[in-house]
Structure 1
Amino acid sequence: MVLIAAAVCTKSGKTIVSRQFVEMTKARIEGLLAAFPKLIPKGTQHTFVETDSVRYVYQPLERLYMLLITTRASNILEDLETLRLFARVIPEYCKSLEENEIAENAFSLIFAFDEIVALGYRESVNLSQIRTFVEMDSHEEKVYQAVRQTQEREAKNMMREKAKELQRQKLEAAKKGIKPTFGSSGGFGSSTGFTPTPTIGDVANQNNDAKPSYTTVPAQKPRGMKLGGKGKDVESFVDQLKSEGENVITQNKNSISQSGTKAPAIKTDIDDVHLRMEEKLIVRLGRDGGVQQFEILGLATLHIGDERWGRIRVQLDNQNTHGVQLQTHPNVDKELFKLRSQIGLKQPAKPFPLNTDVGVLKWRLQSTDDALIPLLINCWPSEAGDGSCDVNIEYELAHTQLELMDVNIIIPLPIGCSPVVGDCDGMYTHEAKRNQLVWNLPLIDAGTKTGSLEFNAPRAIPNDFFPLSVTFSSKSSYASIKITEVLLVDDDSPVKYSVETALYPDKYEVV
């Protein structure tokens, strides 16, 4: 198919958003869009209409139309499939199908349209991939921003401490009768290293026009930054991360001291054989119950830090009962994995790559079974007689073997709404700038598997509180795939290893 343009327009013919995919003049596109409302046949159920040169494929969206303009030679079935994908994209970025909401999110919609069609041809993408491509979420950027904010905070603290120190030295000098002068060296005293200081006798002889005498005070050692030195801001940042339970990898440096000896190696928090079990959760629940989408994607990566442990096998214990589909890397011995649940290379004489995170195992599970949902969210908004809404939200941890940390349930609010919270398990924050209420629960486990939040929202309707989204982090494994031991290929002797497990939602919402 060749898709000329995609547009969202009103039923009266006003164009709100339009994206052109082939070279064509602006006047030509505007003429095609202006002619569309006049061509719609009345009293029919058709979703396309043709002219001598183009084909209009459209779908009603309440008071709007999602419109595609294609060539007459394009496949009508492919056109309709592409149209449905375009129509599904709009609710992803717009809370309502209103003209002003479409206009406010025009750029996000255009970016999403560009992911569907390139140079007039449909790309092989689904809704989840479009969402990922448009968001362009970068873990490295988040880490960089966190480091930068911490460094800025530490720099401000150091600046305040330096100001207090200068003020304290100034007060001490004033008590001793010394008039402080600020030289270019940054401390007290002139740049030459000496400060003229009047003695007690000088003060007594001032009225007698006696020649004053001076004592010399050696200049203080400048306290500037030292290149190559380990800054306190870096140390405090690392200590802060460790106190929050993060695994911090410190690079060993063979720095030479003044005596010519090497500095001792810094012990890291991970072993030379390190495995990371990462699971990403995608959940979409209906507000009236039912599972619209459930998908879990897992990845096991192996990192070898010493060439002595390159030729190893990893023993797994698969306790999963949900029917997770497992897939090993092409270089992993599949027969060994099937018979003994071990991850090893097809060619045992070759080692795993050194100092590289290698993906060795993937697993996946898709279903619409309610029993697979780890955290159930039940939101009950009901209209009150005064034009407000009473909202009751409950959560229940269905899989009690999981421990979910820093759980945030984000409830959207109407613009300008100030909710009145009556009962709350945990904590809550009203973010007025973002028009949302954030319900925070530090930990959800078997001991705190249920909880509720009740609040009243003035000037609201039940649809205002959806879609409701959930974020959390966990060191538990949903799939129950565990590493039991790591063995050398030659003699099956055990190797010391470390394991890191992470479970987090890529998207978890109630719509």
Structure 2
Amino acid sequence: MVVLSAGILTKGGKTLVARQFVEMSRSRVEGLLSAFPKLIGNGSEQHTVIETEAIRYVYQPLEKLYLVLVTNKQSNILEDIETLKLLTKIVPEFCMPISEETVKENNFELIFAFDEAVSEGNRESISLHQIKTNIEMDSHEERLSDMVRVSKEKDAKDEMKRRAEAIAKAKAKNGQSGGFGGRLGSMAEGFAGGFGSSSSSGMGGMSSQDEVYDASVPRIETFASSSGPSSSFGKSAGGSGMTFKKKESTSNDFLAAMKAEGDIMDTPSPVSSGPSAISAAAAQELTKESIHVGLEEKLRVRMDRNGGLDLELSGEAVLSISDSHAAACKVGLSLGDNPHFSFKTHPKIDKKVFADQSALCTTGGRPFPVNSSLPVLKWRMNSKDESASPFTVTCWPSDDGATVEYELHRTDLTLSQVEIVIPVPSQPQVQSGDGNHVYNGQALVWSLDMVDESNANGSIEFTIDGHADEASFFPIKASFTAPQTMCAIQVTQAALSASGANLPFSTSSRLVAGDYELA
């Protein structure tokens, strides 16, 4: 069987879209399709075949349009009709209602779908559901990446807005209380509640200004170990009015930098009370010290509906140093009980020091590269033991629906942005379920903001119209993130390799499971 071309035409003979599966010139395609309306009879059969001396037309009416297959005469007519049936199912999926306008709007989607059904003139062994899945090209990792990016942008904008409001209030109070002459005296009564009494002096106004900065700028608490911000704010208490002007300039410069950079922030955003791992990850990124170690893991799990599991976990410790004075450092680790884990250090890391002290430093104490991210340690774990998976999904299908349940085995983990995608052949009716759920036209998307020890088990039950094949509910895909790692690893210390003097450091941990499938 060889399908030369597939096209959608109006009853007047106008070609709306055509896809060729063998090498053909445009003039030949246009000639074949333009001749088709002249050959149509007045019959109203569901499938109609017209043969000429060289080719065969297999077509079906679609309301006011025709779906036409152009094949050679040696092709199997039964195969041609099966191909036509598949293509007639494809068209309504992308063009509803079927009309000239909707076909024009979705012509590229139709071409892509036709390519999935027919390859080099031969019909592919593929179902409509598989074609829709291939065309959709949904990526869990891309979706997670977009969620992280949007969350960071939102947190950065909220922080910028909060700081702008705090600076505006500080400037207003500074302008009202910074004068040392009669102006302050005339304004004292109106602001007696804010400054303590109507007889407050200029120094009293200056003390209040420091309190405003202490309340609005979280850098003092976050970087308590750093002497720069602390000494700056300490001097302002005993300085003159000029100190306020200098502070305003610094704050305004910082605000302008934030506005210019958009989503890049150098100061921490306030952590919300909600259990959002993405917000926590964004906050961690905003509070990086000059030595920062990021612990990142990726989890891939393949579960069999009849039992059995294939798990692969890969992780790495990424070292980032932003200060050249801290480049020649040694990072101490605490490694817990990690059965079945294998560790491998970077070639420049002193392997003996790591084996004896669980510490990371370069051979000979040489400095690490500055302003770059270096993977200094990697680990891996493979297992076929179901108990090794931190999270499992089970499906109990029936003739008219299914019950899907999840279980969190590692209760020391807090999973966020949990999403379970269940293929369904038609619109489901959810009878009961935890979390949120939505039908996207192809699958039931079950989402939970957080899964931890308090809701380690959950389920969703739904029914569908008509009879459902068990295989139609598979494969089920899941994705989630966590602000912890499965590997028992912690950063405990950072110090100079030569003197052993302690250095400030920060850490972040993240587990991403974007390739989690039950088939």
TM-score with structure 2 setting the length:
0.51
**1:164-179 alignment to 2 at 5 Å?**
none
Q: What is the match of residue 419 of structure 1? A: 428
Question: Helix, strand or coil for the counterpart of 1:247?
Answer: helix
The equivalent residue for 1:499 is: 507
Q: Secondary structure at the match of 1:366?
A: strand
Question: Match of 2:204?
Answer: none
Cα distance in 1 for partners of 2:494, 2:155 equals 38
Matches within 5 A, 1:240-319: 243=272, 244-247=279-282, 269-291=287-309, 293-319=310-336
Change (3 A) 1:437 1:232: farther
Please give the alpha-carbon distance, in whole angstroms, between the structure 1 residues aligned to 2:376 and 2:283.
23
1:429 aligns with 2:429: no
Partner of 1:203: none
Are positions 1:446 and 2:453 aligned together?
yes
Residues 117-152 of structure 1 show CA distances to partners (whole Å, capped at 9, x for unaligned) of xxxxxxxxxxxxxx99xx995987776677889999
Whole-Å separation in 1 of the counterparts to 2:295 and 2:352: 22
User: 2:381 is matched with which residue?
Assistant: 365
Mapped to 2, the partners of 1:486 and 1:236 lie a distance apart of 26
How far residue 504 of structure 1 moved from its aligned partner, in angstroms, is 0.9
Deviations for 1:145-180, whole angstroms, at most 9, x for unmatched residues? 778899999xxxxxxxxxxxxxxxxxxxxxxxxxxx
Residue ranges of structure 2 left out of the alignment (5+ in a row): 6-21, 25-81, 84-115, 117-123, 159-254, 273-278
Counterpart Cα distance in 1 of 2:132 and 2:150: 27
CA-to-aligned-CA distance 1:485-511 (integer Å, 9 cap, x gap): 112212222221111000011300101
For residue 423 of structure 1, report the CA deviation from its aligned partner: 1.8
**Kindly tell me: are residues 379 and 270 of structure 1, through their superposed partners in 2, closer, same or farther at Cα, counting changes over 3 Å?**
same
Change (3 A) 1:139 1:309: farther
In structure 2, relative to structure 1, the CA distance for the partners of 1:233 and 1:492 (3 Å cut) is: closer
Distance, in Å, in 1 between the alignment partners of 2:397 and 2:476 is: 12
1:98 maps to: 126
- Which of 469, 488, 495 in structure 2 is aligned with 1:487? 495
Give the aligned residue type for 2:501.
S
The AA in structure 1 aligned to 2:394 is N
Q: CA deviation at 1:325?
A: 0.7
Counterpart in 2 of 1:390?
401
Q: In the alignment, residue 479 of structure 1 is paired with which amino acid?
A: C
Contact 1:278/1:298 (8 A) holds in 2: yes
Query: In the alignment, is the contact (CA less than 8 A) between 2:360 and 2:376 conserved in 1?
Result: yes
Contact preservation (8 Å) 2:346, 2:377: yes
Q: How do residues 3-402 of structure 1 correspond to structure 2 at under 5 angstroms?
A: 98=126, 100=128, 137=142, 231=259, 234=262, 243=272, 244-247=279-282, 269-291=287-309, 293-348=310-365, 350-383=366-399, 389-402=400-413
Q: Which residue type is aligned with residue 395 of structure 2?
A: C
Distance in 2 (CA, whole Å) between partners of 1:241 and 1:280 is 27
Task: Answer yes or no: is the 8 Å Cα contact 1:428–1:437 preserved in 2.
Answer: no
* Deviation string, structure 1 residues 215-264 (Cα, Å, up to 9, x no partner): xxxxxxxxxxxx968659959999989643343599xxxxxxxxxxxxxx
Q: SS of the residue aligned with 1:347?
A: helix
Secondary structure of the 2:432 match is: strand
Runs ≥4 residues deviating over 4 A: 12-16, 99-109, 135-153, 227-243
- Whether the aligned pair in 2 keeps the contact of 1:247 and 1:269 (CA below 8 Å) is no
Kept in 2, the 8 Å contact 1:320–1:481? The answer is no
- Return closer, same or farther for 1:352/1:229 CA change in 2, 3 Å cut-off: closer
Structure 1 residues 332 and 284: alpha-carbon distance in aligned structure 2, compared to 1, 3 A threshold: same
Q: Secondary structure of 1:429's partner?
A: strand
Q: Which has the higher contact order (CA 8 A, sep 6+)?
A: 2
Cα 1:333–1:141 change in 2 (3 A) is same
- 1:508 maps to 516
Distance 1:509 1:148, change over 3 A: same
Distance in 2 of aligned mates of 1:151 and 1:399: 32
Distance of 1:138 and 1:269 partners within structure 2: 25
The CA distance in 2 between the partners of 1:409 and 1:136, in whole Å, is: 14
The one-letter amino acid paired with 1:484 is T
Q: TM-score, normalised by structure 1?
A: 0.52
Q: 1:476 to 1:139 in 2, by over 3 A?
A: closer
Partner of 2:47: none
Cα deviation digits, residues 274-330 of structure 1 (max 9, x gap): 110000000010111111x21001010011111111111111111133221101000
Residues 450-489 of structure 1 mapped to structure 2, 5 A cutoff: 450-459=457-466, 460-489=468-497
Letter in 2 for 1:371: S
Cα–Cα, structure 1 residues 308 and 15, in superposed 2: closer, same or farther, change >3 Å? farther
Q: From the superposition, tell whether residues 456 and 372 of structure 1 become closer, same or farther in structure 2 (CA, over 3 Å).
A: same
Local SS of the residue matching 1:339: helix
Identify, as 1 or 2, the structure richer in helix. Answer: 2
